[in-house]
Structures are given as C-alpha cells and as structure tokens.
Chains A and B, each alone.
Chain A
Amino acid sequence: MDYSPLLISLRTACVATVFSVALGLTAANYTVRLGKVLKGLVDGILTLPIILPPTVCGYFLLLFFGVNGPAGRLAQAWFNERIVFSWYAPIIASTVVAFPLFYRTMRGAFEEFDKTLIHSGQTLGLSNAFMFWRVILPNCRPSLVAGTVLAFARALGEFGATIMLAGNIPGKTTTISIAVYSAMAAGDTALANRWVLIDLAISFAAMLVMNFAGGGLRRRKSGLSH
C-alpha cells in the first residue's frame, strides 16, 4: 500500500492550519475594531469559503491562481512556477477553505472579551502588543484550541477545492480524501476501507485534543465573576 496520501494529507493539514491561525488571528484582531458596515462587508468576504460549495471555491481559486489568473501569471513571470497541480496547491486550497472556521471562532472570542480588562490594561500603561499576546490570547485559549482543531479537521477533510486546484496526482497531490474517492471509483473497496479507518483515527484524535486542551483553563477563567 502506498502511504503517500497520509503524508500529503498530514503535511497539507498541518501547514494549512498554521496559515489559518496566523491569518485568522490577524484578520479577527483587525475586524473587531471596524465599524458596523465595513465589518459586515469584510466579514462576509472572509466567511464566503465556508458557505460556497467547495467546488465553486475551487473554481474561483483556478480563476485566480490558474495560468491565466493574476496570481498564476505573476508566479509564472517571477519564479517560472505553475501553481495549479503543484505539490503546494492542496495547501492553498485547504487554507482558503479552513481559514474562515478559525477566523469566525476567534472573532467571536475577541468580541465577547471583557472590555474592562483591556481598559484596565490601557490605563496601567500596558502596550497593545502586551495586551494581545499576554492577556487577550491566553484568556481566549478555549476558542483558540477549538478554532485550531476545527481548521485542522476541515483542512484534513478538504476535497472539492483541492481536486479543482491540485488535481489527483498520486505521490504529489493525492490526499486521503481523494484516495478514498479514487479507490471507490476504481472499485477497490478494501483500499477505501483502510483509508477510511485511518481518517477516522486522525479525526478522533483531533477531537480528543480539542476536549482536553480546551478544558484546562476553566479553573482560572472564572476570575472575573464576583
């Protein structure tokens, strides 16, 4: 059995999660400060990938990253690279689809965050950076963990947008979800079963991590109530 889909899936999901967290934190931290109208607009655009069917999302990605798309042309001109069907195309597709889940979770946490803590930090002379990294984020840990696991799970299960942008190239872009589809399409039920079991194991492990890591802060989190 060729185990490359497992490696490709893990690599794609891990890197896409890192990107989703970095982009999601930046975006959530930015949008909570916006006015109502602009916030709704930016929020709508950033959330679109989880509402659109993944294949539609992949179609837009092709338009943007394809050889005739703006990003595709730049990559071709500057690096002599073709993004479509490359080994990193699944990462791009998964990031775009997984990012909104992390972003939405964090935006909710930031919006509900006790403003008094931020105001008290400001009057005490603490910098915005200190408040963000040392006060806001640690106190949003449950959401941080939940958002990360959600994004990881979504990236791991990505199929539609990936097959549009990255195709099904064994050893290069074939992830577990694509491997299951290929095996079934080829009538190899035994192989499909094996991939399904592996996928179940990874998903279950991710849920366990979320439940354990997310619950650890409960003791200290209640410090605000009187």
Chain B
Amino acid sequence: MALDIDIVKRLPGFTLRVRLKAEDEIVGLLGASGSGKSMTLKCIAGIETPDEGVILLNGRALFDSDRKINLPPRRRRTGFLFQSAALFPNMTVEQNIQCVLKDKTREEKRRITQDVLSRLGLSGLELRYPSELSGGQRQRAALARILVTQPDIIMLDEPFSALDSYLRWQLEQELSSVLRDFGGTSLFVSHNRDEAYRLCDTLAVLSSGEIAAAGDKWAIFNDPQSYAACLLTGCKNITPAHQAGDFTVSAADWGVTLRTEAKAAAPVRYVGIRAHDVVFTDSLALPNTFPFELVEEMRDTFSYIFMLRLSPHAAPLRVEISREQYQALKKLPQYVQLPPGKLLLLTRD
C-alpha cells in the first residue's frame, strides 16, 4: 500500500474525515471548493496537523496520533505543486532547482538541472526569473524542482486553475507523461471532471469533508450512488426522489414517476440522468416516455441544449444532443424518453 490515510480534522463549519488508500497510481481528488481537498493534501504534507488519525506513506508513518508521530514537512518527502507554483521570486529557474539539491557537487547539480529542464521542455530558460515565465512554464519549473527532490508522492493542488484554457491542455499532457514516468503515487486535486477523468486512474470524491465515493473512475461515473458524486461527475439533472414501488421511483422536481431497471439496495433519495442520455422519440411504446413543454433551446459550440418541462410548473430537464443528431431531426419529436438503464439511482447525500 503506497498511501494509506485515515484522518480526522475539525474545521470551522465541518469536520474532515478522510479515509483513503492509494497504490502507485494517479488518484484524482474531486470536490467542490471548500470540501476539504486542499486541506487533505496539506495534512499529508505536514503543513496542517490532523486532530487524530494515521498517515502512512510506503509503510512509513508520517503522522500517527496514537504513537505521537508527527514528522515535520521537511522530512516527509512529499512533493507539493501549489496553484501558484510557489517558485522563489528572487531566484532564477536554475537557482530555484539547485537550491533544493543538497550534498551534491557543482557538476552533479548542473547535470541534474539540465536533465530535468530538458525533460520538461524548459531548456534555455535557466536564467529567467519566475516573473519572466508564462503560467505554464512556471508550473513546469515548479514540477521540475519537486522531481529533483525525489519525493515518495507528488500532490498537485489544482495546478491548472490559474492558466488559460489552451495552456491547460498542453500542460495537462506534459503533466500526464511526467506523472507516468514518476511511477509513485500522485494525488491530483481538481474540481474539473473532464480534467480528472483524462489524467487519473482512480477517483475519490470529497463532499463536505467526507469521501462520498472512491474507486475506479468509470464505476463511479456509471453508478455514482451519492448526490455529491453524481453532481461532481457532471450530471446536470438531479432531483429528490422517493421509492414508489420496488421498480418505480417518484421524481419530485420533474413531476413524474419513473420505472427503474434494477431495484436499489437502499431506498432511493435522488434520481439523476445525464443530459446526453435523454432520448427524443415519436413513439410512446418505451417505458418512461413523456410529452414535454419546450422551455428554452440553446446552441452550444458542438451541441444543442434543450430545457424541457415534463409536467406543468416542474423544474426543467436539461437535454443535450450533438449537432449531427439535431440536423438529422426534421422537426422536434413529441416525446422524450428517460431510459431506465440510464437512470442514476442515488441512495446517499
């Protein structure tokens, strides 16, 4: 087990209770702002101290409240990439990297610096100050500085949040290959679903201080089980619901009763459906087919978005279809179907 944490920290407003195990893989920590993602990273790095619990990294105790172990940050060997990159502004790129190399000859320092800079595509920028770099270059220089310390874990705290979207994509690809090469555990904090799904192997969803879901990213996507996980995996349509029968749930906000494919293990509390999974149809033959009232139609860059009401005064449902599908439609069909197999049955907050 590469990383094994089980900590409790009381914060104003909520209590952080994180229990998480991770192998040598890239783990995405997904959560809304204020859900405790950054605080979790800070506890692992030793910048913040949990009230109780255990943090093990490759079998080494970084923190253990029972055994009174609390290693200072400088002895934890945890690489931390901050949102702001946190390069020292008074040092050049080269100095920033060389200052963390201790017990090395001048020649070794030079060679290591050249190696890591060329690996991250920063050759030629050795003598620049951080203020003379672009946002992406700053993040890469900060990552280079972390890599040369040979950490046991790399933690990334929303490293793209300060970048323009076209830079994000480029940095994301570079980051992905660097983290694969690194080979140890990486913890990647994000509130962007797409980013996390592209970069990470497994996911942990954090909601008001607790892990709402953890495990294989596609398993979570297909069956989020909790309201928080459903929302954070990007589901646009979620309504409070209650179990009407073994295979039926009543969806409060939409004003309809829905057939489900499977019987939920616990009483259903919310029902969700992704905007792409709703189907337009002219036939009433299939289950969960309803007439609708069109509230609004919008054209997005590559898709069309419809806001529909399934019953008067109900909350509108968001439906998205691709441009091709839209162009294939001669006129808007009369009904929509919510396929039972696509309904996300949520039994927890």
Give residues in A with beta carbon < 8 Å to B: 114, 116-117, 119-127, 130, 134-135, 138-139, 217, 219-224, 226
C-alpha spacing A5/B277, complex, angstroms: 90
Chain A nearest Cβ from B53, distance in angstroms: 20
Contact B90 A135 (CB under 8 A): yes
- Given A116-B84, A127-B74, residue A221 in contact with residue B45 (CB < 8 A): no
Contact A223 B99 (CB under 8 A): no
Chain B contact residues: helix, strand, loop or mixed: loop
Using Cβ atoms and an 8 Å threshold, which residues of chain B touch A224? 84, 89, 130
Chain A nearest Cβ from B81, distance in angstroms: 9
Chain A contact residues: helix, strand, loop or mixed: helix
Let me know if B47 is at the binding interface, CB within 8 A.
yes
Contact A124 B100 (CB under 8 A): yes
Contact B86 A116 (CB under 8 A): yes
Using Cβ atoms and an 8 Å threshold, which residues of chain B touch A125? 74-75, 77, 100, 102, 149
Contact A223 B87 (CB under 8 A): yes
Chain A nearest Cβ from B140, distance in angstroms: 14
- Given A124-B149, A125-B149, A126-B100, residue A220 in contact with residue B89 (CB < 8 A): yes
- Given A123-B76, A135-B88, residue A116 in contact with residue B82 (CB < 8 A): yes
Let me know if B17 is at the binding interface, CB within 8 A.
no
Using Cβ atoms and an 8 Å threshold, which residues of chain A touch B90? 135, 138-139, 217, 220
Using Cβ atoms and an 8 Å threshold, which residues of chain A touch B162? 226
For the A-B complex with A122-B47, A123-B73, A138-B90 known, give 12 more contacts whose Cβ atoms are closer than 8 Å: A117-B86, A119-B45, A123-B45, A123-B80, A124-B149, A125-B77, A134-B88, A135-B90, A139-B88, A217-B90, A219-B131, A226-B135
Contact B73 A119 (CB under 8 A): yes
Let me know if B72 is at the binding interface, CB within 8 A.
yes
C-alpha spacing A219/B129, complex, angstroms: 9
Contact A126 B84 (CB under 8 A): no
Chain B nearest Cβ from A39, distance in angstroms: 20
